[in-house]
Amino acid sequence: MPKTAITPTRMVLNQQKTRLKTAMRGHKLLKDKRDELMRQFMDVVRKNRELRSRVENGLTEAFSALTVASAVMSPDMLEQAILYPRQSVELSMQFKNIMSVNVPVYDFKTKTADTGDIYPYGFAQTSGELDDALAILSRVFEDMLELAQVEKTMQLMAEEIEKTRRRVNALEYVMIPECQENIKYISMKLEENDRSSKVRLMKVKDMVLEKAHDFK
């Protein structure tokens, strides 16, 4: 028996068959989408692991150089050297569509193209370790920006995978079995009605023949 009341007519049967066909097609498409999202998600996870390792190593290296610089230079001299930065960065964001998921794409450009502008001081009164620290941080900044982009992409793709998984399960375990059960129920009822109609027709025929025989 179907879970909801349903009228066992041929029109409803055709509607249920159409609904089942649509549900099965949608199930296949969503399943393919889920599998492709999972494949791309795993690629992003691997990229995230690589970027995170690079960023952590770069920051460790930069802080080590900065620690040496702070040991060589006086605190006031170190603060004065980096107090007024010469370079600035402009960040922009666009979106890229991955399997109907709009993920961010970050980009940045510096105010000037001169790579030497990352050093806001003269080299005479500062240590070479400070130069190394700023150069490393400049490189790590690009990786950090890409890491932020990748992690946001991972979050959005994970949410889409979960939504798609729920839809696939709803079709696979609820809608498709319900349509199949409805089709089976309606078909059985229609067959019963056909058999009942045939029995009635046979009885009417017998009654007509019997009356015709008596009339003779």
* Res. 128: pLDDT tops 70: yes
Quick one: pLDDT at residue 109?
Answer: 80
Which candidate, 141, 149, 128, places its Cα nearest to that of 87? 141
Res 123: pLDDT: 65
Q: Residue by residue, what is the 3-state secondary structure of 93-135?
A: EEEEEECCEEEEEEEEEECCCCHHHHCCCCCCCCCHHHHHHHH
Question: Contact 140/59 with Cβ under 8 angstroms?
Answer: yes
> Any idea which fold 10-211 has?
Helix Hairpins (1.10.287)
pLDDT of residue 193: 81
pLDDT tens for 154-205 read 999 999 999 999 999 999 999 999 999 999 999 998 888 878 777 777 777 7
Residues 185 and 8 sit within 8 Å (Cβ to Cβ): yes
Continuous H helices in the chain: 10-72, 75-82, 128-170, 176-215
Output 21 or 127, whichever has higher pLDDT.
21
Domain boundaries, the chain: 10-211
Which residue matches tokens 């029109």?
Answer: 11
pLDDT of residue 206: 67
Of 160 and 129, the structure prediction assigns the larger pLDDT to 160
- Higher-confidence residue of 203 and 212: namely 203
Task: Identify the pLDDT of residue 202.
Answer: 79
Range with lowest mean pLDDT among 38-52, 107-121, 171-185: 107-121
Question: Average pLDDT of 4-27?
Answer: 90
Going by pLDDT thresholds of 50, 70 and 90, the confidence category of residue 4 is low
Residue 215 has pLDDT above 60, yes or no: no
Alpha-carbon gap, residue 23 to 169, rounded angstroms = 12
pLDDT in tens, 50-109: 999 999 999 999 888 888 888 877 777 777 777 777 777 788 889 999 888 999 998 888
Q: How far, in Å, CA of 135 to CA of 176, rounded?
A: 60
What is the structure's pLDDT at 99?
A: 85
Start-to-end CA span in the chain (Å): 50
- Higher pLDDT among residues 48 and 90, named by residue: 48
Q: Which residue has the higher pLDDT, 135 or 37?
A: 37
More reliable by pLDDT, 91 or 112? 91
